[in-house]
Structure 1
Amino acid sequence: MYYNVDLHVHIGRTRNGRPVKITASPNLTVENILNKCIEKGIDIVGIVDCAAPEILDEIEQLLKTEYGLYEELEGGGILFKQKVLLLLVSEIEVGGELRGSPHLLCFLKDIKSMRKFSEALSKHVNNVNLSTQRCSLNSVEILKIVEDLDGFVVPAHIFTPYKSYYGNTADRLNYIFNEYFENVNAVELGLSSDTFLADMISELRGKTFLSNSDAHSLQKIGREFNVFDLPKPDFTSLKAALKSMKGVIRNYGLNPALGKYHRTFCLDCNKVANVDPPAHKCAYCNSKNIVFGVLDRIYEIKDQEMLHPPFRAEYVYQIPLEFLPGIGPKTIRKLMREVGSEIYVTHEAPFEQLKNSVGEKIAKNILDARYGNLKIETGGGGIYGKII
């Protein structure tokens, strides 16, 4: 069966209001995330702050007291309302490499395994109760801990200029993981890249590509997601699917130009590069005080022209509703109420159904976004691209 999967969503606060991901919305609680996934059309979600002991306590309490709404599955993961599967994940800032501080997603099967991982992690971070803490271990040392607990790792947003493997740590993942590189079955592309760009790097040929939202607010959930073909929705099936390289059949992601770091950005004149990549200085004022773009970095380190391996999933560009002119929170809620999930509205709902709900102009904008008929102003330097 096919499942819509977003494996990178943050928690802003615990149920009791304590901060977890400081930069995330306080509305991002476990319960709010799962309910929003139903509204969005996401079937499996990875919540990436589950190593925090208070979050694990909260999830255990929900399992005991919420009248059967939550169920821990034998194959791993927690089922909510028989509709959404929660996977337990921890995002770590790896501080033990020679340079850079990349982020690594660590997936564990169940609460028991995540508690053991949290205990091991607590010896190497300053505050295990907060998200994405800097860890003194290197990537291989973390991978070994995760694998000893029957979990797996996924390098996060691998091209972004800050906190990523290719962005500021190494020219090749193989330099970091060495003989354990074959144990890394998937990588997360990030919002400013796509399959076509990533397949310019030959060492990624044997890796599954994931497009996840990295949501820091409820509305951002599902802005990128994957379609998995799984025999059943649980941790074990998803892990096997990534290892087989056949589990992801489609990636839905932003046009990379909409990402915050797609092109080089000048910090002196605040302009985005408009020259052929890689742009190592500003084409407008000649300054080298720049944020190096994802496209520029990929062109700097690529070792082949774009070449998809046979198993590579189809990549479909999507523009989230909130990016479109004339669509705000009220209109989105109206569409969810009258038409269907956001994924259905964005990719499947017919024109007449949209028109009857929100009018002809907005309906046309949604279809223009669906079929790639909108012009985009490129993002960079931490500023999202936008629809012109």
Structure 2
Amino acid sequence: MLADSSATNRWQLLRWFISSATFSVPQAAGPITFSLVALSLTGDASRGAAIVLAMTLAQVAGAIPAARLGRNRPAATFLRLLVAIRTAALVLIATLAAGGAPFIWLILAAAIGGSVNGAAHGYLRSVLNALTPAERLPRALGVAATLNELTFVVAPVAASGLGSVSPVFAVLALAGLGAVPILLVPQSRAAPIDGMLHAGGSVLSPPILLWLLCSLAGGAAVAAIEIGAVALALRFGYEPALAFLFTVPLCVASVAGGVWVSLRNRMATRKGVLIQLSIMTLGAAFVALEQSVATTVVGAVLVGSVLAPLGTYYSLILDTLAPPQRRTEVFALLRTANSSGVIFASAILTIASLSATLIGVAGLMFLATSAVAFATYRRQSRPSRV
């Protein structure tokens, strides 16, 4: 009986890992795919940032309301519903693009899909808590981060290849892969989140806000590279389809970081996190220099190398800081903060130049790193929960 139970638990965890990896496909492939869609419809690849911006703005607005709508339903069941809504919105984008609809309709369809994305991530993360004991959570998150970054390695390359042939087919492909959690996410032991609306404890306490700021800055650093990849390729005289020259090194480095977290299987120290944030800030600065392809790739590698360790730390620390009955909300806020970084990068890229975007993102990373440094040294003189 124990062997059967252990095998069942491993199978459920494997299903969750696959669900987590495929859930990220639209986010991983979206920037390049939407840039190529915009290029085919308007002749301007940078307008794809407007689709990403609409999707992420809607995610920020809808994260907490959508998460609360599922408080009386099983987490896995409500997750499937949210993923189904996102999938339908992506199929609608492909249909509109195929029909040559006005670009504004694609933006509105993207907003529909984005409105449920943050809450879906929160429920997906909550399901993991029910599948994994606390002492194994760092390793599970590390494995998830590694698989997630493998998705970010493969998806942009596939999007570039498929998008160069047919941007519409590329959108349909990412919609189909992103729908896999509907079929595979395990029905966990997690109960409906009763009393969420009346649960005590703030989800926006100063310690939580600090790590949400770091997630926001990191999201902006990654988004500036990924959304600006096509523009970077054009800047250095390459074809748009070679945008993966900048995204793949970032993601390969992040895969290595995820493997390191999985093998280590313990939570990083605060000083270690500060060093990792400093590395990401340096990488963002290298990318902002725009001196050469080599310098830009080195910057992308630095950013990617600490992406998984930092993401794992944020998830673990917020798990401890969040009020028990409001963890799903906090996990949704974590994804929302990361998406707010995407908004920051997308907004600047939409209204200003690529150079302004990269400089602004580097400045935001420096601000977040400085905030953690200040909190760390303050903590040494007066212990706190941060």
**Common fold by TM > 0.5:** no
TM-score by length of 2: 0.27
Structure with the higher helix share, 1 or 2:
2
Structure with the higher strand share, 1 or 2:
1
Query: Larger relative CO (CA 8 A, sep 6+): 1 or 2?
Result: 2
TM-score by length of 1: 0.27
